[in-house]
Amino acid sequence: MGLGQTLLTIMALMLMGRLILTVNRTTLETGSVKDIAEYRITATSLGTSLLEYANDLSFDEATVDTFLTTAQSSSLTAAASFGPDAGESGYMSFDDIDDYQGYVKVDSIPNSAIFFTTARVEYLSVTPPSTVTPTTTKTWNKIITIFVTSPSMVDYEIDPVTPRPDTLKFVSVFSYWYFR
């Protein structure tokens, strides 16, 4: 075997090695992207499901069985008292939106990941034309914010070497309306 044939063989092996490495890297990246998409879809399902449950509830404990016919917000639950009422042990037993305050749920999805869901409820102060701020003062508007995260859900966009944990945030505003 001559020197030319040896050089061609070495170059062919180098080209084949480069091709194999490229194929392996592409396969790994595709698998990672698929997994991240699957985790985000599952987290989205968990967050929107919780918002849908909250959407079916009363605005406040004072409005569970009756309508407030006065324009007084003083009969509403104080922000410091938000959270589940006595006898309410999970979101299926909640009867008003502010029961979700401090709610924490851990979901272990088979063949997927573990997801942590937390919720926060606050009153909203609305100042026209476009200022909306959380407040502890009783108002006719509440905001629920749901966070869903997982150790498996990471964001590689900012720094691919050290990815940061990814958290999905779901927000919904509820207002109390009653017209006689």
For the chain, the domains span 3-175
Residues 12 and 6: their CA atoms lie apart, in Å, by: 10
pLDDT of residue 102: 93
pLDDT-based confidence at 29, cuts 50/70/90? low
**Residues 151 and 165: beta-carbon distance below 8 Å:** yes
pLDDT of residue 69: 61
Q: Which residue has the tokens 């509830």?
A: 57
Residues 91 and 100: their CA atoms lie apart, in Å, by: 7
List the one residue out of 119, 125, 126 whose CA is nearest residue 137.
Answer: 125
Percentage above 90 pLDDT, the chain:
31
Query: Counting Cβ atoms within 10 Å, is residue 49 exposed (0-12), middle (13-18) or buried (19+)?
Result: middle
Residue 47: enclosing H or E segment and its boundaries? helix 3-55
- pLDDT of 180 > 50? The answer is no
| Average pLDDT of the residues in 102-111 | 88
List the one residue out of 72, 91, 109 whose CA is nearest residue 146.
Answer: 91
Residues 161 and 155: their CA atoms lie apart, in Å, by: 11
pLDDT-based confidence at 118, cuts 50/70/90? very high
- Greater confidence (49 vs 75) lies with 49
Lowest-pLDDT range of 4-18, 64-78, 143-157: 64-78
